[in-house]
Structure 1
Amino acid sequence: MSFYQHPSAIIDDGAQIGEGSRIWHFVHVCAGARIGQGVSLGQNVFVGNKVTIGDHCKIQNNVSVYDNVSLEEGVFCGPSMVFTNVYNPRSLVARKDEYRDTLVKRGATLGANCTIVCGVTIGEFAFVGAGAVINKDVPAYALMVGVPARQIGWMSEFGEQLDLPLTGKGETVCPTTGLLYQLEDGQCRCVKK
């Protein structure tokens, strides 16, 4: 076995788990799950069948990653954050054929106790604050807070708030890495210099 599995974890036959991943206490990984290399699944995590988790993701305690959720490389899921996969659930109405896809792009952070309503895309290196509720797409590098979430700024790939306006044009450097970030037409991008 090229990954660590705590004795209390359940990994169904057929699940794909990459080298160097760590599966901790009371985790359940379903048969159809695809998990990359160097992933950490904290205590009491559930991973559904139609789930893809990219390399080097960190999923903290008490997170359920339900069917139709895809995490690209390096996504951080804070403790007890929530994914949904049905937009209008009812216990008395079967809606398994109505699951909506959710995509979290490379390097994004989902803070503790935040909720990601299904059917959205969260851009690269976006930062969702603790307790926020995301119900629409999030741009790359956006800093989102509140219920429902609203954008209050931009974040660097290192996780530092950037000195950029919400709209218009501008450029700044990450205070830690010195990398240049440019804002134009409502989109932030990192210029690798």
Structure 2
Amino acid sequence: MEPDYFAHPSADVEPGARIGAGTKIWHLAHVRAGAVVGAGCVLGRNVYVDTGAVVGDLVKIQNNVSVYHGVTLEDEVFVGPCAVFTNDLRPRAQNPDWQITPTVVRRGASIGANATVVCGTEIGPYAMVAAGAVVTRSVAAYQLVAGNPARHLGWVDERGEVVSRDAARPVGLTL
């Protein structure tokens, strides 16, 4: 039976990967067995989705992003090119006690190009992480963060428009 998603001939979708209808997997992408990718997603060139990673529906992951085991991207998340996710708080080449530290990116959040998201953090719904930011602590719903380490810059709406530069979240930006 033909799959109901598109995978470029150079992409590697391992048997046992679950891919939703209408998803497009482009050049040199690799989706491992045990990965879950929802419907209507776009995985750009050289995207890697590891065993145990979860990608929701309508997610767009641009070129050169690795989504490792322990990372969950909920529905409608955007991940810019070359963004980085980690899953190990104390990386060592040899660590027999290694444990995955999960990361969750909530519905509608956006992560800019070349941003780094350190594991153990949660990016709130509709939050926006600026290009090049280094996220070392969780980001609130609708919050805009930038810099290294990522710091509060303001608040955005569901379309990503800046609605306030104040510290306090504006009325109406709640889930």
| TM-score > 0.5, shorter chain as reference | yes
Other structure's SS at 1:92 match: coil
Tell me the distance in 2 between the aligned counterparts of 1:53 and 1:62: 16
Seq. identity, %: 47
* 8 Å contact kept, 1:164–1:170: no
* 8 Å contact kept, 1:19–1:37: yes
In the TM superposition, residue 166 of structure 1 has moved relative to its aligned partner by 1.3
Greater relative contact order (CA < 8 Å, ≥ 6 in sequence): 2
Tell me the distance in 1 between the aligned counterparts of 2:138 and 2:160: 20
Per the alignment, residue 175 of structure 1 pairs with none
TM-score between both structures, scaled by the size of structure 1: 0.86
Per the alignment, residue 102 of structure 1 pairs with 103
TM-score between both structures, scaled by the size of structure 2: 0.95
Tell me the distance in 1 between the aligned counterparts of 2:128 and 2:149: 15
- Per the alignment, do residues 26 and 65 of structure 1 end up closer, same or farther by CA in structure 2, a change over 3 Å counting? same
Per the alignment, residue 58 of structure 2 pairs with 56
- Per the alignment, do residues 114 and 16 of structure 1 end up closer, same or farther by CA in structure 2, a change over 3 Å counting? same
> How many equivalent pairs are there?
173
In the TM superposition, residue 189 of structure 1 has moved relative to its aligned partner by 1.6
Q: Structure 1, unaligned stretches of length 5 or more?
A: 172-181, 183-187
* 8 Å contact kept, 1:122–1:138: yes
Tell me the distance in 2 between the aligned counterparts of 1:49 and 1:159: 31
Higher-Rg structure is 1
- Does residue 18 (structure 1) correspond to residue 20 (structure 2)? The answer is yes
Per the alignment, residue 176 of structure 1 pairs with none
Tell me the distance in 1 between the aligned counterparts of 2:21 and 2:95: 40
Q: Structure 2, unaligned stretches of length 5 or more?
A: none
Per the alignment, residue 156 of structure 1 pairs with 157
Superposed CA offset, 1:10-63 (max 9, x none): 011110000000000001100000110000000000000011100000000000
Stretches (4+) displaced over 3 A: none
The equivalences for 1:1-193 within 5 A come to 1-96=3-98, 98-163=99-164, 165-167=166-168, 170-171=170-171, 182=172, 188-189=173-174
Superposed CA offset, 1:102-144 (max 9, x none): 0000000000000000011110000000000001111000000
Tell me the distance in 1 between the aligned counterparts of 2:129 and 2:165: 17
Q: Which amino acid aligns with 2:70?
A: N
Tell me the distance in 2 between the aligned counterparts of 1:149 and 1:8: 36
* 8 Å contact kept, 1:86–1:95: no
Q: Which amino acid aligns with 1:92?
A: Q
* 8 Å contact kept, 2:24–2:43: yes
